[in-house]
């Protein structure tokens, strides 16, 4: 299987660990990735400014992939939601004609045939292979779904009930780790409120981190770069502000899976994680020695 890796805006600059681990884990699983240099912003922030501009900017990426005749794999859940929502809208001929008129000056046209899939969804579909290849990880892991990985459900063709999501827990179990239940699991990271009112989004993050800490998880796992910015990059700052210590390592799903597949910390970009994963790796190392 081959996909065009859609980097979006945040991943290639702020969360390179996600990109490194995704590329290496996909390679290990025999899934090939190509890079299309004309991909740009997915259009997500523009939906708040002007609907047609959003659709045109999203459809531009879909057109780039369509011309290369390759399905798209996203890493960012907001990119995934934005592209899928636009894809659904572009199935309507009137909308498509209107939006394609905006793409004409840049010599692009979208006919509505591109397939878009989240990297986590691809991993879910590859779960049998992951199970076969995995060395079990002796870890307690809290799954953070975020929002656009499961919602709005109409763009995800009822893959899983967003009120009772399970795919990440299944993947955590597939690598021999234990999924940890915690209070208010589906809570949003608050990332999109960050530019409007920092104190509101940081409070949302603080609540989540304290629920995860209370549940006794060794790490949290997530599937969106902006959630990572909130929980990993901002964790120290929230600790300082709230006077509360969390010390919760934040792993991207491919980092967790990669550890079970025997990839090295460098191949998973683990040294780029802000909250130290040293203790976590030591726990794993000790566990393996005992076996």
Partner 1 sequence: MKKKEIINMDELDPQFKYEIASQPGGEHILKCVQCATCSSGCPVASVSDKFNPRRIIRMAVLGLKDVVLKEDFVWYCAACYTCSERCPQDVRIPDLMAAIRNIAVKEGSIHPAYREQGRLIGELGRLYEVTEFENERREKLGLPKVKEKNREIAEIYGCTGVGKVVL
- Which range of residues in 98-106, 129-137, 231-239, 274-282 is near partner 1 by CB under 8 A? 98-106
Span of 115-123, 168-176, 196-204, 275-283 interacting with partner 1 by CB under 8 A: 196-204
For position 101 contacting partner 1 by CB under 8 A, the verdict is yes
Residue 248 token pair: 């919760």
Residue 188 touches partner 1, criterion: CB under 8 A? yes
The single residue among 2, 12, 113, 181 that binds partner 1, judged by CB under 8 A, is 12
CB of 119 to partner 1, least distance (A): 15
Backbone angles phi, psi at 88, to 5 degrees: -65, -45
CA-CA distance, 141 to 120, in Å (whole number)? 16
Report the candidate in 243, 241, 248, 242 with the shortest Cα–Cα distance to residue 227: 248
Smallest distance, partner 1 to C-beta of residue 41, A? 5
Q: What would you report as the CA-atom Rg of the chain, rounded to the nearest whole angstrom?
A: 19
Nearer to partner 1, 170 or 207 (CB): 207
CB of 10 to partner 1, least distance (A): 7
CA pair distance 65, 114, nearest whole angstrom: 7
Crossing angle of helices 77-89/51-68, nearest 10°? 90
Among 165, 179, 190, 254, binds partner 1 (CB under 8 A): 190
End-to-end distance of the chain based on CA atoms, in angstroms? 35
Of positions 125, 181, 200, 247, contacts partner 1 by CB under 8 A:
200
The contact mask relative to partner 1 for 202-241 (x = CB under 8 A, - = no) is: -xx--x----------------------------------
Please choose, from the candidates 143, 152, 151, 139, the residue with its C-alpha nearest in 3D space to the C-alpha of residue 123.
Answer: 143
Q: In 3D, which of 240, 14, 3 has the Cα closest to residue 121? A: 3
- Residue 126, phi then psi, degrees to nearest 5: -105, 15
How far is 58 from 40, CA to CA, in rounded Å? 9
Is residue 45 a contact residue for partner 1 (CB under 8 A)? yes
49 or 243: CB nearest partner 1: 49
DSSP 136: P
Rule CB under 8 A: say whether 40 interacts with partner 1: yes
Residue numbers of the site for partner 1 (CB under 8 A)?
7-10, 12-14, 16, 19-20, 23, 35, 37-38, 40-41, 45-53, 56-57, 60, 101-103, 105-106, 108, 147-148, 151-153, 162-163, 186-188, 190-193, 195-197, 200-201, 203-204, 207, 269, 272
């Amino acid at each position: 299987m081959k996909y065009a890796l859609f980097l979006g805006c945040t991943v290639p600059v702020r969360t390179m660990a996600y990109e490194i681990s995704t590329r290496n884990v996909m390679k290990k699983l025999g899934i090939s990735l190509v890079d299309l240099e004309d991909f740009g912003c997915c259009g997500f922030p523009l939906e708040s400014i002007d609907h047609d501009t959003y659709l045109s900017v999203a459809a531009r990426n879909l057109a780039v992939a369509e011309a290369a005749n390759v399905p798209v794999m996203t890493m960012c859940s907001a990119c995934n939601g934005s592209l899928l929502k636009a894809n659904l809208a572009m199935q309507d001929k009137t909308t498509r004609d209107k939006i394609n008129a905006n793409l004409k000056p840049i010599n692009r046209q979208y006919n509505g045939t591109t397939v878009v899939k989240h990297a986590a969804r691809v991993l879910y579909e590859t779960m049998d292979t992951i199970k076969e290849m995995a060395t079990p990880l002796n870890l307690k892991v809290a799954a953070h779904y975020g929002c656009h990985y499961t919602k709005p459900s109409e763009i995800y063709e009822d893959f899983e009930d967003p009120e009772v999501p399970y795919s990440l827990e299944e993947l955590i179990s597939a690598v021999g780790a234990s999924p940890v239940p915690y209070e208010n699991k589906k809570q949003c990271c608050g990332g999109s409120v960050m530019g409007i009112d920092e104190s509101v989004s940081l409070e949302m993050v603080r609540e989540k981190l304290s629920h995860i800490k209370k549940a006794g998880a060794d790490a949290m796992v997530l599937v969106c770069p902006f959630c990572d910015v909130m929980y990993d990059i901002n964790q120290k700052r929230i600790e300082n502000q709230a006077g509360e210590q969390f010390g919760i390592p934040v792993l991207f799903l491919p980092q967790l899976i990669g550890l079970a597949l025997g990839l090295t910390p460098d191949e998973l970009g683990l040294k780029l994680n802000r909250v130290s994963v040293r203790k976590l790796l030591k726990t794993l190392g000790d566990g393996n020695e005992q076996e």
